[in-house]
Structure 1
């Protein structure tokens, strides 16, 4: 009977990779390192940004105080932060899932904007379906994103094109296509000041979750993270994907379908980014317009790396970065800082994370075998 095990991944090989009952001390220390290094990188990035503020004559204490106040200081702040976290959760998955196969896909922004356009056009073209219309929009957005990022995986498999470069270039193409669609092909004639597709009917707008002023996009993002974790960590397909990410040559020798795994998981990652575009159209904008290119795909890169591509760790990291995003307006008003200030902060944190990646395995603290000298 077919157990769903990928071709070439025999039961004996799976059993051979099964961890012993109870984690060893070495395994626990490796997990501690996976948490400690990104956390230290985050602190280092925040400290470096504090020095940057001092050079500008601004107070780092005031800055982080305003960030806390606007992002986490009240119930309203939390609702604003969580609403902004919804697309970030899905955008980060577009980076984290391919990364488990050793791929660096950074063009999720393209899948977001095209997924949003597809969802907006679909919703305006099929009115009167109620919840079925929202589901149809979600399918359109996810399918568009899957095709867009799946094409990156196809070029990698069939032509050996570097996925980092191709996904980034395709993101620029996608933004240009989005502008063309909303300003020309699918433009609503009534949208004079800001070109957009036809507005969605009220029944196609995502409602707020019970007891809080946060739309259901947050729930979609949380479910997506949980499902992604289960797929990557608790299924044979996820196990096979991790083998490909660890050593693609070894995976090929083992007989794993590396090409199909890359295509499948890049398409899955793209579907989440396309779903993020649908959430923005349905819950925030009410139509597809230029505001879809809000940089969520690029912030998702930072979130995924800070979370070490762990789908569950993406959740708190996305909330933290969403708090920074939510506080940008207050910070600009109170400290008279430009719009690009938060981008500088994100850039410094990202550089610190990249540096921390070079330090993995270099600290004796996380190597129990070096604690006692022979």
Structure 2
């Protein structure tokens, strides 16, 4: 298991006084540690790495301005990251390390249903908050209250995408294919229900592939033979998507392909090339057309930190921002007492700092989870064209 730490002066527990060794004027500045827990290796590595790079980028920008204000004092932000390898057991170990050893109360991640569900007992026992990128409603519905969904869920994006393709592209039939794991299978189930509710014909939905598959011809052949107008790659990992797309095109499929998970334009271009043109996916929540100057600065710094921009970072930039802004509202007590943080959630609302237009940013999700346990990021749907994503349309959960 990997523990990855951002470059910071001192690593300490929680938010306490710290002496900075370089003798700066902030010699007694308090420190707030944030955890990042997620998959940072293997086929889905980009999902967790983007979380990590977003947190590290925001921390750099904030610290350069003297820290984040909470209760009249500015806190230096430090980030501790843990690679859970998409394994629930490893994720539990990572959560225990961050919560108990590092005494961290706010953790970004994990990335899928199985790992997010596995750490729920740790979060509750340690009285910590986490922001997963997993879609299981049980994570966010009472009696659970310590997890906050960090993005648009598949069951929120799917119906919007299918409706758009039905009305704008004439889609009448759809086939689904999913990796044989809990998270993709759950997303497939939600997608099938949404398609049927819109009156689409589900041509097939039982085809699956095993983790680690590299030859998708056998399974994709069965899907392509159904001649559906649309093939949905349910819960597809960024490394698998271009292989599935390329295989479908090589088999002669001429219809549309889509997914409700975020993807990596570089991987799509390198592996599938022009075969990926027309592929539709949920994008980052901050496209060039809608970005504020604040977001532009983040994009520039993220590119330096990570080596390149990733569209998904437009969504994952929100996690640390929401944690810190809610802490500012709740006050210093919430740094160590997440109940104070949770009490502030319903009344939290600010102008979205990442958008040009004056739009509110708040916690949403009550219609889905019976409580506001979702970050209200914009719903951006992209289409891949000639090596990059283009915004197809923008919506919202509410």
TM-score, normalised with respect to structure 1: 0.28
Which of the two has greater helix per residue? 1
The structure where strand makes up a greater share of residues is 2
TM-score (norm 2): 0.27
